[in-house]
Amino acid sequence: MAQLLDGRSLAKVVNAETKQRVAALTDRHITPGIAVIMVGDDPASMIYTRNKEKKARQLGIKSVLKHYPIEIDQASLMNEIAALNNDDSIDAIMIQKPLPKQLNETELIDAIDPAKDADGFHPLNVGKLFDNQTGPYPVSCTPRGIMRILRHYQIPLSGARAVVIGRSILVGKPIAALLTNADATVTLTNRHTKDLKKLTREADILVVAAGITHLIDQADVKPGATVIDVGMHRLDNGKLTGDVDFDDVEPVAGHITPVPGGVGPMTIASLMAQTVDLAEWRRNG
Ligand SMILES: Nc1nc2c(c(=O)[nH]1)N[C@@H](CN(C=O)c1ccc(C(=O)N[C@@H](CCC(=O)O)C(=O)O)cc1)CN2
């Protein structure tokens, strides 16, 4: 039976730390601020942005939601980003994914001041991560949360064989870089990877961010492995589940994240912590 990697409980610890750091900034008359740009009415994104606003308020972080209709044009968003870059009360800017197809996401992300890059998606920050620079610089919040989980539960990384499924800039690429920087031996896979399940069966650490419900079952997992499930899918019965068939895999894994209550809560906690990081870095000069 696996040990549960409880992201919900750990997120509470991270949020308590963040609240203390906000209080220390408030003593210096500084209120950290985050702006979230959201386009359209994707129901899941609406929930996530609302949860972010609520969490920010609880922690004493100023939160601004810039919500635009789905038909917004590129130029208007570029103007909004320029205004937020110049707004001294805003330390962190993020663009909620997914964006509608008519928008050039790369151009928008490149326009964010790298010092206000809440998601760590700006190429300057991605470059620093892949160069394993000492920092400080922001990194994508889900991978940041995963690394905190691995550290908290003392999962050995140096020399471990890690397999990452999915190569997005949101999860796959940055978690592969972070694990590589921690001296794991990382295989980053994608939908064209041949014999994927042969690779997963050799993994000491398996990170699944494929977006495919129950892609991974017991036969795909090395006994004792650490399994991190980044997927999130709503079943017909209304329940949430992941890319990993939890009930099937849990008896053989060494450690496993649940869905819900694993990686998800750590994403928002990491975003709040990163907002305070950005405020400290920018305002300490
Ligand atoms: N610009 C970004 N866009 C998106 C990101 C991101 O990090 N940056 N991540 C996801 C969405 N996301 C945050 O934005 C997110 C998703 C899920 C959760 C979460 O807490 N999930 C809960 C379940 C929630 C539910 O009941 O519906 C859990 O897993 O326990 C937090 C944040 C895509 N877009």
Condensed to tens digits (0 to 9), the pLDDT of residues 103-161 reads: 999 999 999 999 999 999 999 999 999 999 998 999 999 999 999 999 999 999 999 99
pLDDT digits (tens, 9 = 90+) for 171-227: 999 999 999 999 999 999 999 999 999 999 999 999 999 999 999 999 999 999 999
For CA atoms 91, 96, 102, 107, the dihedral sign is positive
Cα 173 from Cα 228, distance rounded (Å): 15
pLDDT band at 285 (very low <50, low <70, confident <90, very high): low
Which protein residue has the closest C-alpha to ligand 1 atom 4? 97
Q: If you average pLDDT over every residue of the chain, what do you get? A: 97
* Cα distance from N-terminal residue to C-terminal residue, the chain: 49
Enter the tokens of residue 173: 């690429």
Cα 25 from Cα 120, distance rounded (Å): 22
Close Cβ partners of 165 (under 8 Å, ≥ 6 residues apart): 172, 189, 196, 200, 206, 207, 208, 209, 210, 215, 216, 243
Give the mean model confidence (pLDDT) for residues 231-253: 97
Which protein residue has the closest C-alpha to ligand 1 atom 16? 264
Hey, is 219 helix, strand or coil? helix
For CA atoms 250, 198, 224, 177, the dihedral sign is negative
119 is catalytic: yes
pLDDT digits (tens, 9 = 90+) for 16-50: 999 999 999 999 999 999 999 999 999 999 999 99
Which protein residue has the closest C-alpha to ligand 1 atom 12? 48
Q: Between the CA of residue 238 and those of 233, 234, 235, what are the distances in Å?
A: 9, 6, 5
Q: Which of 6, 91, 117, 119 does the annotation list as catalytic?
A: 119
166 annotated ligand binder: yes
102 is catalytic: no
Taking a C-beta distance cutoff of 8 angstroms, is the pair 282, 91 a contact?
A: yes
89 annotated ligand binder: no
Cα 161 from Cα 186, distance rounded (Å): 6
- Strand pairing class (233-234; 240-241): antiparallel
Burial of 69 (0-12, 13-18, 19+ CB in 10 A): exposed
Cα 203 from Cα 178, distance rounded (Å): 16
Cα 187 from Cα 199, distance rounded (Å): 8
Q: For the domain with range 141-263, which CATH number is right: 3.40.50.720, 3.40.50.300, 3.10.20.30, 3.40.1350.10?
A: 3.40.50.720
* Biggest CA-to-CA distance, the chain: 56
pLDDT at 284: 85
> How many angstroms separate the alpha carbon of residue 125 from the centre of ligand 1?
21
> Do 29-114 and 141-263 show the same overall fold?
yes
Whole-structure pTM over 0.90, yes or no?
yes
Classify domain 29-114 at the CATH class level.
alpha beta
Tell me which residues have their CB closer than 6 angstroms to ligand 1: 47-48, 94-97, 119, 141-142, 170, 232, 240, 259-261, 264-265, 267-268
Cα 68 from Cα 66, distance rounded (Å): 6
Taking a C-beta distance cutoff of 8 angstroms, is the pair 216, 222 a contact?
A: no
In sequence order, which ranges of 138-171 are alpha helices (DSSP H)? Answer: 141-152
42 is catalytic: no
Q: Where are the domains of the chain?
A: 29-114, 141-263
Enter the tokens of residue 148: 């905190």
Ligand 1: residue of 116, 142, 266 to mutate (most ligand atoms within 8 A of CB) is 142
- CA-nearest of 51, 92, 122 to 267 is 51
- Strand pairing class (161-165; 62-68): unpaired
| Tokens 């079952």, residue located | 217
Enter the tokens of residue 161: 């064989």
